[in-house]
Amino acid sequence: MPLVALTGGIASGKSTIAHRLAEYGAVVIDADQIVRDVQSPGGPVLAEIAERFGDAVLREDGSLDRAALGALVFGDGDRLAQLNAIVHPAVRAESQRRFTAALEADADAVVVYDVPLLVEARVDDPWDLIVVAHAPAELRARRLVELRGLTEAAAAARLASQTHDAQRLAVADVVIDTSGDLDETLAQTDALWRRLVAPGVVAD
């Protein structure tokens, strides 16, 4: 079972790659979804977040107000570090549980962990391959404004809150350049899939 880490900065096209690999049959485990799951109402993670950042980060129904929390932590390194110290251990435990379940269900499965914060939190895990989706920061900022409706200032803050591109690229076994059109990204992803399913070549 190849265990692949797929990472990239915000608006890097990582989700497009993950979706393509899932179409081929990969078991894609989404770190962002795990974050949402562990932050669900009634759990210890959300309670600790509310204790640290105040009830203003909660909605009336007791769920997490992600926009309010994001406004507090993006652009503030200390607060972001405090949030990560609460969330990362729970995400690590849950992701490992899902990796194990995928292996038990199919020993030959290709498992892809779609994880934005690989460099920040998971780079030393025993991955068979680290794949980085990459596009220049200027292009990603434009995507955030044009496709997600962020202001230029908000887009810049999101990019600034993440690790530098050079740090992601330094740990990559494979880089998929997403600065071109969709067909170019998919062609690179198709080549990655052929590598993943070819016997004995994942770590080459």
Each residue's pLDDT tens digit, 170-189: 999 999 999 999 999 999 99
CATH number of the domain within which 107 lies: 3.40.50.300
pLDDT at 123: 85
> Is 52 inside any structural domain?
yes
Q: Which domain holds residue 81?
A: 3-197
> Is 203 inside any structural domain?
no
> Is 202 inside any structural domain?
no
Distance, CA of 156 to CA of 145 (rounded, Å): 10
Residues 116/33, Cβ–Cβ less than 8 Å: no
Query: What pTM, to 2 d.p., does this model score?
Result: 0.87
> Is 85 inside any structural domain?
yes
> Is 28 inside any structural domain?
yes
**Looking at the 3D structure of the chain, how many domains does it have?**
1
> Is 190 inside any structural domain?
yes
Distance, CA of 128 to CA of 26 (rounded, Å): 14
> Is 78 inside any structural domain?
yes
> Is 204 inside any structural domain?
no
Each residue's pLDDT tens digit, 81-133: 899 899 999 999 999 999 999 999 999 999 999 999 899 888 889 999 999 99
Taking alpha carbons only, the member of 178, 175, 194 closest to residue 186 is 178
